[in-house]
Amino acid sequence: MKKAWVLALAALLALPLVVPTNVNAADPAPALEGPGVKSAVVFNNGEKLTLEEKTTIKGGRVFVPLRELTEKFGLHLKYDAATNTAYILDKEDATLAKAEKGESMNLFRNDVKLETIVDTNAENKAFVSAVDFAEALGRYYYEDTLSNSLYMFDDAAPMKDGEYVAVGLASRGWVPQVNLTVKGGKIESVVYNEYNAEGNGKKTDEAYNTSWQAKYPEVILSEKIDTLQSDLVAKQDPNKVDVTTGATGTHQSFVALTKKAMAQAKAASVSKAVNFDYKDGKYVVVGLTDSRGWTPQVDMEVKDGKIISVEYTALNDKGESKRLDGAGYVTNWKNKYEGVDPVAIIAEREAQLIKTQDPNMVDVATGATGWGDDLKLFTVGALNQARMSDIEVTEGSTIYVFHGEPTAKSAYYIQLLALAKDNKIVDVDYVEYQTGSDLAKPHNPTYIQNWANKTPDVLQGRNQLDIKEEMQNFLLNNKTVEGIDTITGASNWRKGIVELGPKAVKMIEK
């Protein structure tokens, strides 16, 4: 294995410590929760917020503590018990809007009622969807699965130059899409359209426009879309784009997707985890086997730095695929949820991933949530690890990535990458990801330095990265984890390699 990045990082560690803005140097190994729990970290314009209440997850959405987060944003929360209504207020002495008591809690932003579900925990504390909270505050929202972080930005937050794509869910056979170009920190151009299964856009689809003109003879759809686009470039603010008469649905979709693309651009300016320059190769990503014996798997291919194909499924111990109705899984699903096709839903998510090139832009809040969550978690981790790892992908090789359980609550999740060729493992790389950090532990100079400072007597002058390299080389050379020493100072990394190494050997070296 090449050690170029190891040597470079070791040299960096000899320099005065520089703390990234979103890494807490005083907390090198915080107690964290595992995947799926979503005890996420919230960032406001790139600044990490400290919350006493943990976030939770329901139905594919992350829920944040309403009162605590409202106060963190410098706003005021008032509650009217008579109508079971909570108010997020700019001014503490604001007059409360009238509300009627319903079956669930009402939520207002100043005098505007929000169509937002408010959830309460056992202590009767209120939680709201993070994306809805951001929308209520007029913030741009981006959720990073890699670092388990929720980013919220205001209009002043900078955008990173680049091309960004946001894709909505299909409606009546049409999939809305925004392509946004940012240059010099400003929106240089935007293209909006809605596409059918054949790839035809509404703007130029003859049959659709004939039907449209019959319904709205005075409204030309293509001109309305052009107006939306030019208005956004001129005003640089999707909230100020004029509502176009006769195309309100298009306007709403345009604004919503533009905000998502802008949030992605803002997140890219503050987080190293938001990166779309992927390592070419064929990928097989293997998840954790669930209690019913299903092991999630994502097969993916990257060419010229872009994802060109992706397919999610889960396999049982017989090798049967959920997607192909193994063990009658899809049939049972359809019998239980009439009219819901999980294969069609995940196929739409896969198409979103290919179009946006960002797993975090995949919408999983509606239907087949577990499948969608797996697709996001496994692809974002695999792509990041392969990009950061010192592996040389050659023709005919395959990048396998094995997902594991967190170790000692110090990792959000762990991964072992094994590069394979001709049914042989030719290279390996092990990483751990932490909530709130945009770099995996081995690639995070702050983490490594803090670890060295904390345990100098244990390490006795050794480098943690060299210890990890020794364990990886043992697995690579012996094709077993039996005999790997209990490494003082890196016992959790050893535990992860011991857990995942046999899975790699069993799957690859048949």
Residue 20, pLDDT score? 27
Using 50, 70 and 90 to split pLDDT, how confident is the model at 460? low
Residue 2 pLDDT more than 80? Answer: no
Residue 459, pLDDT score? 64
Give me the domains of the chain, ranges plus CATH numbers.
33-138 (no CATH), 162-270 (3.90.1010.20), 276-388 (3.90.1010.20), 407-510 (3.90.1010.20)
The 10s digit of each residue's pLDDT in 373-424 is 899 989 999 999 999 999 999 999 999 999 998 765 667 789 999 999 999 9
Residue 1, pLDDT score? 45
Average pLDDT over residues 339-350: 92
Residue 369, pLDDT score? 86
Q: Within 13 Å of residue 256, how many CA atoms lie on the same side as its CB?
A: 15
| φ, ψ at 347 (rounded to 5°) | -65, -35
Whether residue 404 contacts residue 499, with contact meaning beta carbons closer than 8 Å, is answered with yes
Average pLDDT over residues 458-465: 72
Q: Tokens at residue 64, please?
A: 């944040």
Give the span between the Cα atoms of 510 and 507, in whole angstroms: 6
Residue 3, pLDDT score? 39
Q: Is 349 helix (H, G, I), strand (E, B) or coil?
A: helix
Q: Tokens at residue 335, please?
A: 């019998």
Most confident of 272-281, 331-340, 424-433: 424-433
Residue 456, pLDDT score? 65
Q: What is the dihedral of CA 149, 155, 158, 159, to 10 degrees?
A: 80
Residue 478 pLDDT more than 60? Answer: yes
Q: Is the dihedral of CA 224, 227, 233, 239 positive or negative?
A: negative
Residue 366 pLDDT more than 80? Answer: no
Whether residue 265 contacts residue 164, with contact meaning beta carbons closer than 8 Å, is answered with yes
First to last CA, the chain: 23
**How does the average pLDDT of the chain come out, rounded?**
87
Give the span between the Cα atoms of 113 and 93, in whole angstroms: 18
Residue 22 pLDDT more than 80? Answer: no
The 10s digit of each residue's pLDDT in 111-149 is 999 999 899 887 889 999 999 999 999 999 999 988 889
Give the span between the Cα atoms of 453 and 465, in whole angstroms: 15
Residue 486, pLDDT score? 63
DSSP string, 249-288: HHHHHHHHHHHHHHHHHHHHHH-TT----PPPEEEEEE--
Taking the whole predicted model, whether its pTM rises above 0.85 is answered as yes
Residue 6 pLDDT more than 50? Answer: no
Residue 4 pLDDT more than 90? Answer: no
* Closest by CA position to 382, among listed 404, 397, 356: 404
- pLDDT higher for 366 or 34? 366
CA distances from 237 to 3, 184, 193, 229, 270 (A): 46, 16, 19, 11, 20
Residue 140: alpha-carbon gap to chain centroid:
15
Residue 61, pLDDT score? 86
| φ, ψ at 417 (rounded to 5°) | -100, 135
286 Cβ contact partners less than 8 Å away, ≥ 6 residues apart: 295, 296, 297, 400, 401, 402, 403, 503, 507
- pLDDT higher for 337 or 150? 150
Q: Is 106 left (phi over 0), alpha (psi -120 to 50) or beta?
A: beta
Residue 53 pLDDT more than 70? Answer: yes
Average pLDDT over residues 29-39: 42
Residue 86, pLDDT score? 96
Residue 368 pLDDT more than 70? Answer: yes
Residue 232, pLDDT score? 96
Residue 227, pLDDT score? 92
199 Cβ contact partners less than 8 Å away, ≥ 6 residues apart: none
Q: What is the largest CA-CA distance in the chain?
A: 80
The 10s digit of each residue's pLDDT in 283-342 is 999 999 988 999 999 999 999 999 999 999 999 999 999 999 999 999 999 998 888 899
Could you tell me what percent of the chain has a pLDDT over 70?
89
Would you give the DSSP letter of residue 50? P
